[in-house]
Structure 1
Amino acid sequence: MWTTTRRILSRIVLAVFGIQVATLLGLMVVDARRKKNKAPTSFPRQAPTAVQSRSNNATVYTYGHDLFDDMIEAIDAATEHIRFETFIWKTDATGRRFRDAFVRAADRGVQVDLVWDELGKVFFTDGVLHPEFFDFSDHPNIRARSHPLVMGGVLFWHPRHYGSNHRKILTVDHRLGFIGGYNVGDEYAADWRDTHLRVEGPAVLELENAFVDYWNLFAPENEHLPAISGRSWDPSVQVVRNVPLQRLYPIRSMYLENIDRAGERIWMTHAYLIPDDDIITALTDAVERGVDVRIIVPYHSNHIVADWVARGSFRPLLRGGVRLFCYQHAMVHSKTALIDDAWTTIGTANLDPLSLKGNYEINLSLVDDALNSTMADIFEMDLTNCSELTLEQWEKRPMMVKLSESVLKPLSPLL
């Protein structure tokens, strides 16, 4: 009896797995055709916007070329040290602009510390690897390290050893800091709609401290960086970091606490929206108490599987009164939120399991009405490039599409 039952269960599991694989292969074919026939991108953007906040001078970027020009300018003006951390650093023209700028800085005596993610390097560089690009061993003023694909030795399977370094920060001379969603590459300079923030003020030391803490977590003791002193206790500016090795995931708590506090509006933009049940409940509860909850997501993202898995959360959000807006004609990669007229976050964490419970992530959390107002203006600009998805439209999608979404839903914890 048990043998027969086990045989049946095995066949069911294999059948489900086979359907998942077939669905994934089909989506990959669709995605390849879509990318091959992709039309030129077009989307609204605004010039870098300066904001005088309570304790920091800030500039918000919505276009990669603007951001990269200012980052290169900051690197070229450095006199003491540069600390740079990214997920994807492509070896194209934009990537080489950054590499050349780091070498120029090191040549004039600036200490340059660099971190990139090995997964981002191997799997997201268009299949072209240039090992010499990432080799800085001949320069005494450049210290460089990559976040490994696999770590922990025989304990590689343990959750403490999961996670890529998905962070994107740059600090210069204790005086300038950059944080946001932009990776480094030609594609991100012109074709993607993303959001980055430049800060001058107490927030810079918080970003630099986050870099130093990460570096010292993985570097041998004789290569540790000195601790950052003089940090502010200003509660209106906080750097919130996920650190898998220490089992720390406060970004999810940051979102839940601030969503629960909302009384007027919650406006969010996320490249990959796969919220867990607690976040869905928090958002729909906010709607019930009269909060205007809106979320912008890509119409088509750069990860088609993530798109289809994300659809599993659309129905409960729409039924709960959350308004979803699909961004058109370009990939929107921002990870931002604003609540009421007070709170804003800009950073690297998506609302998905991989960001909230898996990767090394970093977000800047700010209570500042001026920055909140600027981000609201940008959100409204982005809405002009969106189509709203209604519950009625969603319920009318074809049955085959619904079945495909159901087949892929078990994959959500992996994305």
Structure 2
Amino acid sequence: MVYIAFLILYFLAGIVIVIKLILYGVRPTKTLAWMLAIFTIPVGGMLFYLLLGRNRRKNKLFQLKRTDEIISYLEKAESHYESVTEEEYQEHQKLIRLITMNCGFAPSAGNRLKLLKNGDATFQAIFESLQKAEHFIHLQYYIFEDGELAEGLFELFKQKVKEGVQIRILYDGIGSRSLSKKYIKKLQKAGVEIYSFLPVKFGKFLSSLNYRNHRKIIVVDNKIAFTGGINVADKYLKGDPDLGIWHDMHLQLEGPVVHSLQAIFVMDWFLISNQDDILSPSYFTTYKKMGNMTAQTVHSGPDEDFSATRQLYFSLINEAKNYVYIANPYIIPGEAILEALKVAALSGVEVRLLLSDISDSKIVRWCVRSYFEGLMEAGVKIYLFSDGFLHSKTIVTDDTVSSVGTTNLDLRSFEQNYEVNVAIYDDSFAIELKNDFLRDCEQSIQLDYATFVKRPWIEKLKEGVAKIFSPVL
């Protein structure tokens, strides 16, 4: 009787899930695959669906309620922009409008942006800025690890709290799982407010495990901000025993664009802590012109209607007329981006992809390589960086527009992670990023299509198996 009752309950639960798949499924092929898994893999099929298959964009399980306080806060942030009109950037009108509609952040003028390459330059700039903090420090990272870097931040934070500086820290519950409770308690004892973003808890295991906050943001006094690919980990300074030095790109920002990064931190903080003191108008600064660069912040997450970061990449690739240069460690693009890359290359646009020759995950490495043959057949040039591990997430097109941020070119970043990028509408910045990209290409190995297609069948088999898992990598 117990067995029969279990079968009936399982069948009824399966029917409920199938109805949800029919109502909210994104693609027919994916919907059919989940339906087959649920009814052909006992228990496991349903568990996998609950963990990995639910459409967060429809269910809105993690949606930040746009309360009156949040709406008022965002309006205040917008009012501090030195804004620009779309007419000032005729060639990028569609992209500007797309980001504004998706994210609510218009482009802002009067900014000064600086590229920071690798850990030494990045953390030198970060520590210098943190030392100058007078009012508050807001810090958010996917990976925050114990080590010399973390200890250096602790000593600095301890001193700053004594000076009356408010310090708030968000760290991801999975990405920073190795961060010790001892270190967290030290920070709390020193007066630092610190929260874990979606920590894995028994009651919320299935609803939160697969949805992570991959953002890296620092805002100091609303005067200077940082974002990009670099996490708080010693491997960015001393290297990794297996992967060598981690090469990455970060961004230092000054000017009104800082307000949008502050707004993203505030919304994440409010979502997790439910503390509304951070919505105070005292956290705003009216800017004088800091530079002559125009920038626009792009953010996305599993609780939003559209993946703004995917649409950013898609638009930049489609609008390119001369070249598209992308540096990214995890290129598992999905159908839309994959087709856009092929169409661009077949149309005569020079498309280059720069990836790391080594990877921090074998299955990810094989999955990434499973796309190489089709891309190269269409004319895409692929370069493998071999001097350490390349972790940068950049794109530049036509010497006019570029983006630096946290978003990988994969389905996880597009669908399941909270991400942030900055689109920069500035020729000089684009050319600087392009020249750095080309220097890295010179140190890399360009794959040859004729040679690659002759690789052993066992490698093709590994690639094919790994590709099956692309939606969850």
Shift, 1:236, TM fit? 4.0
Aligned to 1:3: none
Compared with structure 1, are the counterparts of its residues 201 and 224 closer, same or farther at alpha carbon in structure 2 (3 Å cutoff)?
closer
> AA paired with 2:150?
G
Q: Does 1:137 align with 2:191?
A: no
CA contact (8 A) 1:206 1:231 kept: no
Structure 2 partner of 1:73: 128
Quote how far apart the aligned CAs of 1:165 are: 1.1
Aligned with 1:316 (options 371, 374, 382): 374
Aligned to 2:222: 174
| 2:146 maps to amino acid | T
Output the CA distance in 2 between the equivalents of 1:151 and 1:80.
34
Per-residue CA deviations over 1:26-50 (Å, capped at 9, x if unaligned) read xxxxxxxxxxxxxxxxxxxxxxxxx
Give the distance between the partners of 1:61 and 1:221, measured in 2 at CA. Answer: 33
Q: Which amino acid aligns with 2:175?
A: G
Report the counterpart of residue 348 of structure 1 in structure 2: 406
SS of 2:303 mapped into structure 1: helix
Question: Matches of residues 50-69 of structure 1 in structure 2 within 5 Å?
Answer: 55-69=110-124
1:212 corresponds to 2:266: yes
Of the three residues 367, 371, 375, the one matched with 2:425 is 367
1:188 aligns with: 236
Segment drifting more, 53-62 vs 246-255: 53-62
> 1:304 deviation in Å?
2.0
Q: Deviations over 1:268-295 (max 9, x none)?
A: 1001110111111111111122211001
Q: Which residue in the other structure is 2:456 paired with?
A: 398
**Structure 2 equivalent of residue 20 of structure 1:** none
Contact 2:222 2:285 in 1 (8 A): no
CA contact (8 A) 1:162 1:244 kept: no
CA separation of 1:151/1:251 partners in 2, compared to 1, >3 Å: closer, same or farther? farther
Q: Distance in 1 between matches of 2:314 and 2:225?
A: 26
Query: CA shift at 1:305, angstroms?
Result: 1.6
Report the secondary structure of 1:137's partner residue: helix
Structure 1 position 139, deviation (Å): 3.7
- Report the Cα offset of residue 162 of structure 1: 3.9
Query: For the residues of structure 1 that align with 2:286 and 2:471, how far apart are their CA atoms?
Result: 36
Partner of 2:155: 100
Contact kept in structure 2, 1:343 and 1:366, CA below 8 Å:
yes
The 8 Å contact of residues 301 and 307 in structure 1, kept in 2 or not, is answered as: yes
Measure, in 2, the Cα distance between the counterparts of 1:393 and 1:97: 48
For 1:57-98, what per-residue CA distance to the aligned partner results, in whole angstroms no more than 9, with x for missing partners?
A: 222111211211111111111001111111111111112112
User: What whole-Å deviation, never above 9, does each CA across 1:315-357 have from its counterpart, x for those lacking one?
Assistant: 2111111100000120000000001111110000000011111
Give the 3 Å change call, closer, same or farther, for CA 174–224 of structure 1 in structure 2: closer
Tell me how far 1:303 sits from its aligned partner.
Answer: 1.9
Aligned equivalents of 2:232 and 2:138: distance in 1?
Answer: 15
**With structure 2 as the length reference, what TM-score do the two structures score?**
0.71
Structure 1 counterpart of 2:312: 254
Q: 1:400 & 1:315 partners in 2: Cα distance?
A: 15
Aligned-partner Cα distance in 1 for 2:296–2:250: 16
Secondary structure in structure 1 of the residue aligned to 2:379: coil
Preserved contact between residue 267 and residue 293 of structure 1 (Cα < 8 Å)? yes
Query: Do the aligned partners of 2:195 and 2:272 also contact (CA within 8 Å) in 1?
Result: no
Match of 2:347 in 1: 289
Q: 1:231 to 1:206 in 2, by over 3 A?
A: farther
Residue 259 (structure 1) shift? 1.2
Moved more, 181-190 or 262-271: 181-190
Paired position in structure 1 for 2:298: 240
Report the CA distance between 1:104 and its aligned residue: 1.6
Query: Cα offset for 1:213?
Result: 1.5
Structure 2 unaligned regions, length at least 5: 1-35, 45-107, 239-244
Q: Distance in 2 between matches of 1:230 and 1:357?
A: 33
| 2-structure distance, mates of 1:300, 1:275 | 19
Which residue of structure 1 aligns with residue 51 of structure 2?
A: none
TM-score (normalised: structure 1): 0.81
Would you say 1:165 and 2:223 are equivalent positions?
A: no
- Identity, % of aligned pairs? 29
In the alignment, structure 1 residue 378 sits paired with structure 2 residue 378:
no
The structural deviation recorded for 1:161 is 7.5
Letter in 2 for 1:131: K
- Partner of 2:396 in structure 1? 338
Q: Which amino acid aligns with 1:280?
A: L
Partner Cα separation in structure 1 for residue 293 and residue 301 of structure 2: 21
Code of the aligned partner of 2:264: A
Letter paired with 2:216: K
Counterpart Cα distance in 2 of 1:219 and 1:245? 18
94-103 or 241-250, larger mean C-alpha shift? 241-250
- Does 1:271 pair with 2:338? no
Q: Which residue of structure 1 lines up, in the alignment, with residue 416 of structure 2?
A: 358
Distance 2:357 2:247 in 1: 13
In structure 2, distance between residues paired with 1:175 and 1:94: 23
- Counterparts of 1:288 and 1:356, CA distance in 2: 25
Match of 1:39 in 2: none
Looking at structure 2, the residues matched to 290 and 246 of structure 1 have their Cα atoms a distance apart, in angstroms, of: 34
Aligned: 1:280 with 2:338: yes
For structure 1, the residue ranges without an aligned partner over 5 or more in a row are: 1-8, 18-52
Query: C-alpha distance in 2, partners of 1:247/1:304?
Result: 32
AA of the residue aligned to 1:95: A
After superposition, the C-alpha distances for 1:131-178 in whole angstroms (9 at most, x for unaligned) are: 1111233244x2211112337956x545x8741111111111111111
User: 1:215 Cα shift?
Assistant: 1.1
Q: Is 1:306 equivalent to 2:364 in the alignment?
A: yes
Quote the Cα distance in structure 2 between the aligned partners of 1:355 and 1:231. Answer: 33
Q: How far 1:217 moved relative to its partner?
A: 2.0
Q: Is the 8 A contact 2:224 2:252 kept in 1?
A: yes
